[in-house]
Structure 1
């Protein structure tokens, strides 16, 4: 078992879905961390100093007691092992598989296709206009949410009676869906789960508006 960290620094961008996930996880664990804003708009993630620590040049990046961890799902898994309570990823084989399947509908199938660098490529390199780009964005959210709505159980959260890794992924994705005017009416279970999450301080303090610079 990894020992609980004594020093944590999260390098992220306030509106990055992946950074948002990690902020929620840290808050749910009750961990104190320093938040360092890395402006994706200004390209700070491609600076030499940042790339020395994170060769991929993405956010988030967590520095824990001087050691660097990248990729949000790996970071959350590390947090869950370093500080086991409350549990975010079930230990038992089947509940773990269910939780990771739900989470990966977003982390593997929706988010990568709607990442900022992908959207920039669609407009800058492929010449898509803003309306077409937004149709692309909404399409992949709708496809993923259709599946996730059917996969949702009966509990207050995707993770059952307490929020888990799937809920941590869901809330930032619904935030993005609203930004791009996705109709959430077909997703009553997902909407109810998001509402339950947002009643918790850990989710409230992780919101982009709560950490936005200035």
Structure 2
């Protein structure tokens, strides 16, 4: 779980360096990593990066990630960016509470579901893309654009997961697919006002995620850098 400032100070004498997560409260990519860290029960220091102020474009941040995106995870002297790469890294280094099933086919299903979210949905409606759409086509075009791509991806996921889902996306255990699905569903509802009535499976999964503390603690409204207006 993310450490408070007091906990961070108290841990300064620890022999093992605390993980550091450079995150933005509203970023769904950061949201994924927060869930994964929580599920692994890994203690980490939360370092806010304000995208609206351009802090991700600063020379200091670009030393951690040259492309200037959050999240970035720092583990000792090692820094890694990209939420998929971070999740794979912590899955291998910290094997407790595994995010991937042992069964090869189920593992592949998790990779596929995660990639649908990261490659076919989120990457087409992230802040950089929406800003570009607003600049080139006008601000009124950003919401329809985002909803179109989310709806397309959710339609595929609804069909794809129907033969694998149990209590969660690919069975009765929380796995990598859930780590990627939860922030995307959250964003679709809270940020892009998507009507979820046509996606009963994803809606049911979303209800299940809201019951899990590791997921709730990772939600945007529960972060250190969440604006007060977003929690009221």
Shorter-chain TM-score range:
over 0.9
Query: Alpha-carbon deviations, 1:131-185, whole Å to 9, x = none?
Result: 3211000000000000101122240111311111111111111111112111100
Corresponding position of 1:132: 141
> Which of 186, 199, 204 is the aligned partner of 2:198?
186
Alignment of 1:204 with 2:216, yes or no, is yes
Query: Which range moved further: 88-97 or 114-123?
Result: 88-97
| TM-score (norm: length of structure 1) | 0.93
Contact 1:88 1:163 in 2 (8 A): yes
Contact 2:30 2:83 in 1 (8 A): yes
Alignment of 1:10 with 2:21, yes or no, is yes
Contact 2:35 2:215 in 1 (8 A): yes
Alignment of 1:171 with 2:171, yes or no, is no
1:93 positional shift: 2.2
Corresponding position of 1:51: 62
> Which of 182, 186, 195 is the aligned partner of 2:207?
195
Point out where structure 1 has 5 or more consecutive residues left out of the alignment.
Answer: none
Distance 1:210 1:159 in 2: 27
Match of 1:185, SS state, is: helix
1:6 positional shift: 4.6
Distance 2:35 2:68 in 1: 22
Point out where structure 2 has 5 or more consecutive residues left out of the alignment.
Answer: 1-15, 228-232
1:110 positional shift: 0.3
| TM-score (norm: length of structure 2) | 0.86
Distance 1:186 1:212 in 2: 34
Distance 2:41 2:57 in 1: 31
1:130 positional shift: 2.7
Would the alpha carbon gap of residues 89 and 154 (structure 1) be closer, same or farther in structure 2, given more than 3 Å must change? closer
Q: CA RMSD in A?
A: 1.3
Contact 1:23 1:206 in 2 (8 A): yes
Moved over 3 A (4+): none
Matches within 5 A, 1:108-123: 108-123=119-134
Contact 2:134 2:140 in 1 (8 A): no
Query: Alpha-carbon deviations, 1:64-85, whole Å to 9, x = none?
Result: 1221011000000111111112
Contact 2:62 2:68 in 1 (8 A): yes
